[in-house]
Amino acid sequence: MPAASAFYRYYERRLARSLPPASLPGHVGVIVDGHRRFARTEGYADFTESYRVGMAKLEELLGWCAELGIQAVTAWVLSTDNLRRPPAELEPYYAILEELFARLPDLARRLGFSIGVSGSLDLLPTSLVQAAKQAERRDPEARLQVNIALCYGGRQEIVDACRWLVADLLEAGVAPADLPMAIDADGIAEHLYAADLPDADLVIRTSGESRLSGFLMWQSAYAECVFVDPYWPAFRKTDLLRALRDYARRERRFGA
């Protein structure tokens, strides 16, 4: 084993031992950013290989989180804004996402996690939507709840939640004139895409960007945020453990 690898294995074990279960976040959100910059840094001819490495990294992340006892993970793999990219960039990524969804059910069975997919799926190619739906594995008793944010936009999620809430209130017999007073925070929260998941405790963004770009706008109101430098395909277990250590050291006040 190379000396550098041995050192990182030792360092990872030491970091993990410093994180008691009570200090870990329940729900971790991850913005998997930096595929294209990683491809340029590595000298790839196009972005396809970096996308493939990035999705393999996501599978590694889920293994790390299952091992650590994290209860929920939301991974943002495609935003609605990303749809403005050229087809030459999007189509290879769609294919690699389909490959990911084909592999996830087996990984879920081995690691004991459930799979949900949330976002504006109606904007995506039919084959990708079918792959995502076939991969879903709902199990409220699973040790780890995995939510894949696919073609996701935080503003659109809140708009959709409000629309669905209003529709349900009308169906329940609430008069249109009474709707304004019937809409509240609890009602909106119950109509979010992944309403069964708790609010995010920690949000990690890779690639050195220090913004959330609308990720989990409602659910991250009191989340701690950690911005790390590595591009997503180069993200390591060490980077995750450092982010968890940073989270554990913070005093959460929830606005108080």
Active-site residue, from 33, 147, 199, 201: 33
Cα gap 45→39, rounded to integer Å: 8
237-249 and 3-17 helices, crossing angle to 10°:
30
184 flagged as catalytic: no
Q: Is-contact 30 77, C-beta < 8 A?
A: no
Q: Which residue's structure tokens are 């992944």?
A: 194
CB-based contact 123:132 (threshold 8 Å)? no
Is 139 one of the catalytic residues?
no
Q: Are 146 and 116 in contact (CB under 8 A)?
A: yes
Catalytic annotation, pick one of 81, 82, 168, 201 = 82
In angstroms, the Cα distances linking 226 to 104, 188, 206, 219 are 26, 27, 9, 16
Rounded distance, CA 238 to CA 9, Å? 9
161-171 burial: b if 16+ Cβ within 10 Å, else e: beebbbeebee
Catalytic residues: 33, 82
